[in-house]
Amino acid sequence: MNPIIPPKLKPGDEVRVIAPSTTLAIINEEQRTLANQRWQEMGLRITNGRYTEERNQFNSTSIAHRLSDLHDAFREPQVKGILTAIGGYNVNQLLDGLDYDLIAANPKVLCGFSDITALSNAIFAQTGLVTYSGPHYSTLSMKYGAEYTIDCFQKCVLASAPFAVPQAADWSDEAWYADQERRTFHSNSGYLVINEGEGNGRLLGGNLCTLNLLHGTRFMPDLAGSILLIEDDYESHAAAFDRDLQSLIHQPGFNDVRGLIIGRFQTKSKIDDNTLAEIIRTKAALRHMPVIANASFGHTTPQFTFPIGGQGILVAQKDGVKFTVTKH
């Protein structure tokens, strides 16, 4: 299956916000105002799906209504791109009900991360449509520290040229949405190079524990020939990450994976560099490939955007790392 790269977004385009996981209703008006301003500064016109404000006991809404909003966003010709409201836990409820023929016939940018990993990788596996692991609509509600996130999104989704992914200058790991003013930013010491080497291939991945929900299903992409980007949130500690990574290694095609990029862990995970390096050293399947960690994506902020199904090159040496997205 040849990948389908959707048309790039451009100034004036309508971008639809949908809530395939957690409802938009949890985002307050002050945060929405700032998010809308940020998206508008990129020239994008934000509209909301019909059912994004519905809210049940799971902070979500029915499968039927979530599918309806997603299908409408792909179906309606004036909508040029799709942003997810926020992550959550239940997007994999939608996978059997998606109209993959409709999606393939109307290729559009779809961007989100965390729980959206299941949706993005399933769409790529079933249609070949390249999707994007990057900010939710609500991510740009962040008052401080969003500049890197915005810049990387624009390079990946509003432009076509290959680009080297820089490391963010600093990073933060608070519940910023609870208190926008009390933020601590840490200087970024750079990538942790665990295995040196070079690799090129298809970019796949996202949130590891969510990606693993696809194992053994028709929604799991073929890992052969890929560079995998994986990350996890504060719910993942060292033992959980170890077994989730091992489960990924057991998937068909892993013997032809070309590289592994691990996003920065949240502080509550208590996974330091030495612990992570030891986990990697126990995996014989990883010894032939470059492996780096502390990359600027995932559940710490800021984050870069990468194309799920796109192409990239990873060069990892002790004296430096270069990660380049070549097709997106």
Q: What pLDDT score does 171 carry?
A: 97
The whole model's pTM is what?
Answer: 0.97
* CA-wise closest residue to 193 among 265, 118, 276, 126: 276
Q: What is the DSSP string of 101-154?
A: HHHHHS--EEEE-TTHHHHHHHHHHHH-B-EEE---TGGGG-SSS-HHHHHHHH
Q: What pLDDT score does 204 carry?
A: 98
Annotated catalytic residue, options 114, 120, 133, 138: 114
Q: Grade residue 2 by pLDDT with cuts at 50, 70 and 90.
A: confident
Residue 116, pLDDT > 90, answer: yes
Q: What is the DSSP string of 209-251?
A: HHHGGGTTSTTSPP-TTEEEEEE--TT--HHHHHHHHHHHHTS
What are the pLDDT digits (tens) for 264-300? Answer: 999 999 999 999 999 999 999 999 999 999 999 999 9
**Coil, strand, or helix at residue 320?**
strand
Residue 196, pLDDT > 80, answer: yes
Whether 235 is catalytic: no
Range 278-281 contact pairs with CB under 8 angstroms and sequence separation of 24 or more: 279/238, 279/241, 279/242, 279/245, 280/194, 280/195, 281/194
Annotated catalytic residue, options 71, 136, 141, 231: 231
- Tokens standing for residue 303: 């984050």
Q: What pLDDT score does 326 carry?
A: 98
- If you average pLDDT over residues 92-116, what whole number do you get? 98
Whether 65 is catalytic: no
Residue 1, pLDDT > 80, answer: no
Contact 113, 298 (CB under 8 A): yes
Q: Grade residue 94 by pLDDT with cuts at 50, 70 and 90.
A: very high
Residue 25, pLDDT > 80, answer: yes
Q: How far is CA 291 from CA 192, 234, 262, 295, in A?
A: 9, 21, 8, 11
Residue 193, pLDDT > 80, answer: yes
Domains and CATH numbers, the chain: 14-161 (3.40.50.10740), 170-327 (3.50.30.60)
Q: What pLDDT score does 220 carry?
A: 98
Local structure of residue 167 (DSSP, 8 states):
P
Amino acid at 14: E
- If you average pLDDT over residues 299-317, what whole number do you get? 98
Amino acid at 19: A
Cα radius of gyration rounded to whole Å, the chain:
18
What are the pLDDT digits (tens) for 142-168? Answer: 999 999 999 999 999 999 999 999 999
- If you average pLDDT over residues 316-327, what whole number do you get? 96
Whether 114 is catalytic: yes
What are the pLDDT digits (tens) for 63-84? Answer: 999 999 999 999 999 999 999 9
Annotated catalytic residue, options 138, 226, 269, 299: 299
